[in-house]
């Protein structure tokens, strides 16, 4: 595995999710500790689940301090920006906050889909279910922990194309690097781009996964 590319996507995803966690906590008026927990859970929660499932104990997030500094840095930069913004720029910032949050979240989703799937392909190339599940769980796990801690129904269970984007990216990456032997870094970049693109297109056009409906409408199910 070309470790450089793996680390690039790992750090990119951690940063994007850490920032998205800070945005989420700020919009709920949490205190400093709540901001740290939501930011950390979103940034490293998926990776911890991934490491437990493949037996990488203790999880990487606890061994390498770079993850902590990314989280602390994201909190400092975002909260200082929010704290010292003047009122005119503040309103402009707030009107873009939701878009910024969704963009960071999409970048994190794409990055962690790549890192989870690649790690699975590297250690267990024969278990396709495991590898694709690792991609999806790494990508959506942090958000699930964040939402459960915050007492909300996790975003992946609501109607948007979220985990589906990660699933498609992960299947694409596994299919490319294992049966077709595409180089890991090429597969990673393509899979990241496809996942982020699907997610952003789904947000832009309000796409949803189809529901199961009965042929005739009538009695409510």
Q: What residues line the site for a copy of itself (CB under 8 A)?
A: 26-27, 29-35, 37-38, 48, 52-55, 57-59, 62-63, 65, 68, 79, 82-85, 87, 90-91, 94, 124, 127-130, 133, 144, 148-154, 156-157, 159, 163-164, 208-216, 218-219, 221
Q: What are residue 208's DSSP bridge partners?
A: 160
In whole angstroms, how close is the CB of 5 to a copy of itself at the nearest point? 24
In whole angstroms, how close is the CB of 219 to a copy of itself at the nearest point? 6
Of residues 180 and 217, the one with the C-beta less far from a copy of itself: 217
Of residues 82 and 190, the one with the C-beta less far from a copy of itself: 82
In whole angstroms, how close is the CB of 1 to a copy of itself at the nearest point? 18
Q: What are residue 160's DSSP bridge partners?
A: 208
125 and 163 in contact (C-beta within 8 Å)?
no
In whole angstroms, how close is the CB of 216 to a copy of itself at the nearest point? 6
* CB neighbour burial string for 87-108, b if at least 16 within 10 angstroms, e if fewer: eeeeeeeeeeeeeebbbbbbbb
Contacts of 188 (CB under 8 A, 6+ apart): 5, 6, 9, 114, 118, 173
């Amino acid at each position: 595995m070309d470790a450089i590319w793996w680390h690039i996507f790992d750090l990119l995803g951690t940063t994007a999710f850490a920032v998205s966690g800070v945005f989420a906590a700020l919009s709920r008026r949490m205190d400093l500790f709540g901001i740290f927990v939501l930011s950390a859970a979103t940034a490293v929660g998926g990776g911890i689940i991934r490491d437990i499932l493949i037996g990488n104990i203790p999880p990487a997030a606890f061994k390498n301090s770079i993850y902590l500094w990314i989280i602390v840095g994201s909190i400092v930069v975002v909260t200082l920006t929010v704290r010292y913004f003047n009122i005119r720029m503040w309103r402009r910032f707030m009107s873009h906050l939701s878009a910024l949050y969704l963009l960071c979240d999409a970048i994190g989703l794409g990055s962690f889909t790549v890192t989870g799937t690649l790690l699975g392909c590297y250690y267990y190339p024969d278990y396709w279910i495991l590898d694709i599940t690792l991609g999806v769980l790494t990508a959506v796990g942090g958000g699930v922990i964040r939402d459960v801690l915050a007492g909300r129904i996790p975003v992946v269970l609501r109607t948007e194309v979220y985990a589906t984007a990660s699933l498609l990216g992960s299947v694409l990456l596994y299919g490319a690097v294992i049966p077709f032997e595409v180089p890991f870094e090429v597969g990673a970049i393509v899979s990241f781009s496809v996942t982020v693109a699907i997610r952003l297109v789904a947000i832009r056009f309000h796409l949803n996964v189809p529901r199961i409906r009965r042929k005739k409408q009538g009695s409510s199910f």
